[in-house]
Amino acid sequence: MLKVNAHVMNDEIQNAINKMAETSQAVRDLLSKRFQYLASPENRYTSLKYQMDLNTQYYEGIDNEREKQRKDYYNRVLKRFIDKYSVEVCFDDNLSYDDYEHIDNLLFNNASLEEIKTYAEALQLDLS
């Protein structure tokens, strides 16, 4: 049985890859390339540093993908609001993804301009 000595994978993933390697030449080839990559000290350092950075982000609660989605949602809500009401508005760009989702739902459900502004102002006051 081929043993995977991975730095970035947990035991469950390693076991699944080991099972696939038993029957698939393609998986064995990929593992071989990975081992060749990790044979170089600088590549091993890069791999370990990447794993440590991921762990740090996880424990500090940083989720870059979620942050990107939140910023995209902010831009989408702002554009929809301006398109729908032809009014310049400035939503707080530090609201949560869920808050932007709620504002988007209000826009979708044809809420009044005042209703949306009241909700947005209440959120900004809660953050202060």
Cβ atoms 85, 114 nearer than 8 A? no
Determine the Cα angle at 59 with ends 57 and 63, to 5°: 40
pLDDT digits (tens, 9 = 90+) for 95-120: 788 888 888 888 888 888 888 888 87
> Over 50: is that where the pLDDT of 127 sits?
no
Give the count of beta carbons closer than 10 Å to the beta carbon of residue 18: 15
pLDDT digits (tens, 9 = 90+) for 4-47: 444 455 678 778 888 888 998 888 888 888 888 878 888 888 88
